[in-house]
Structure 1
Amino acid sequence: MPRGPREGVRPAFRQWRAGRPFWGGLLLALGGAEVLLTLKASLDVILHVGMQGLAGYLLPVVMLLCGVLILFNPTQRLFYSVIGVLVSLGTWMTSNLGGFFIGLLLGVTGSCLAFGWLPDQEPRVGRRQRRKQARAAKTLPPTPARQS
Structure 2
Amino acid sequence: MSPESTGQNEHYIRVYRRRFRAWRGNRPFWAGLFTMAGGVPIAYFPYANMHLGNVTLAMSTTAGAGSLIIGVLLVTLGLTMWFHSIVRVFAGVAAILLALISIPVANIGGFVVGFLLALVGGALSVSWAPGEAPSAEEPFDEQTSRRTASPNGVPYEERSEDRPDATTVPPQQNAALGAAAGDDGGSRRAG
Instruction: Give the TM-score, by structure 2 length.
Output: 0.57
Equivalent pairs counted in the alignment come to 127
In the alignment, residue 65 of structure 2 is paired with which amino acid? L
Partner of 1:39: helix, strand, or coil? helix
1:94-124 Cα offsets, whole Å, 9 max, x none, are 111001111100000000001100113579x
Distance 2:114 2:37 in 1: 7
In the alignment, which of 117, 131, 142 is matched to residue 106 of structure 1? 117
Bigger share in strand: 2
Question: Is residue 25 of structure 2 the alignment partner of residue 18 of structure 1?
Answer: yes
Structure 2 residue aligned with 1:95: 106
Structure 1's unaligned 5+ residue stretches are 131-139
Cα pair 2:102 2:109 within 8 Å, conserved: yes
Change over 3 Å in CA distance of 1:38–1:53 after alignment to 2: closer
Bigger share in helix: 1
Instruction: Calculate the aligned-residue CA RMSD, in Å.
Output: 2.9
Change over 3 Å in CA distance of 1:122–1:112 after alignment to 2: farther
Distance 2:88 2:25 in 1: 14
Instruction: Give the TM-score, by structure 1 length.
Output: 0.73
Work out which of the two has the higher radius of gyration on C-alpha atoms and give 1 or 2: 2
Structure 2's unaligned 5+ residue stretches are 4-8, 50-59, 135-143, 147-156, 164-191
Cα pair 2:67 2:102 within 8 Å, conserved: yes
Query: Quick one: percent identity of the two aligned structures?
Result: 30
| 1:1-148 alignment runs, 5 A limit | 2-40=9-47, 49=62, 52-121=63-132, 145=162
Cα pair 2:39 2:71 within 8 Å, conserved: yes
Partner of 1:13: helix, strand, or coil? helix
Q: Deviation at 1:144?
A: 8.9
Q: Between the two structures, name the one with larger relative contact order (CA 8 Å, sep ≥ 6).
A: 1
Distance 2:35 2:25 in 1: 17
Distance 1:101 1:8 in 2: 39
Change over 3 Å in CA distance of 1:63–1:144 after alignment to 2: closer
Change over 3 Å in CA distance of 1:104–1:145 after alignment to 2: closer
Q: Deviation at 1:40?
A: 2.8
Runs of 4+ in 1 over 2 A off after TM superposition: 3-7, 120-123, 143-146
Q: Deviation at 1:5?
A: 2.7
